[in-house]
Amino acid sequence: ARINSAKARARADELQARLQRRLEELEGERQLSPLPPVVKGGALVVPGGLIARLRGKRQEEPELFARETRRVEQIAMQAVMDVERSLGYVPRDVSQDNCGYDIESAIPGTGKLRFIEVKGRLEGAKTVTITKNEILTALNKPDDFILAVVLVPPSDTTPQADPWKIEDPARNYGNMKEKCQVYHIRKPFTREPDFGVTSVNYNLKELVAAGKLVMG
CATH code for position 73: 3.40.1350.10
Q: Which residue has the higher pLDDT, 156 or 90?
A: 90
- Count the domains in the chain: 1
In a domain, 55, yes or no: no
In a domain, 144, yes or no: yes
In a domain, 53, yes or no: no
In a domain, 27, yes or no: no
pLDDT at 136 over 50: yes
The predicted model scores a pTM of: 0.63
- Cβ burial of 141 (10 Å; 0-12, 13-18, 19+) is middle
Q: Give me the pLDDT at residue 145, please.
A: 98
Average pLDDT over every residue of 71-81: 92
Q: Which residues pair with 199 in a beta bridge?
A: 131
Q: Give me the pLDDT at residue 54, please.
A: 76
Q: Which residue has the higher pLDDT, 83 or 164?
A: 83
pLDDT at 10 over 90: no
In a domain, 141, yes or no: yes
Sign of CA dihedral 192, 188, 202, 99: negative
In a domain, 104, yes or no: yes
First to last CA, the chain: 97
Spatial separation of the C-alpha atoms in residues 102 and 117, rounded to whole Å: 5
Q: Give me the pLDDT at residue 47, please.
A: 80
Q: Give me the pLDDT at residue 62, please.
A: 53
The residue range of the domain holding 170 is 61-215
Q: Give me the pLDDT at residue 158, please.
A: 37
Q: Give me the pLDDT at residue 185, please.
A: 97
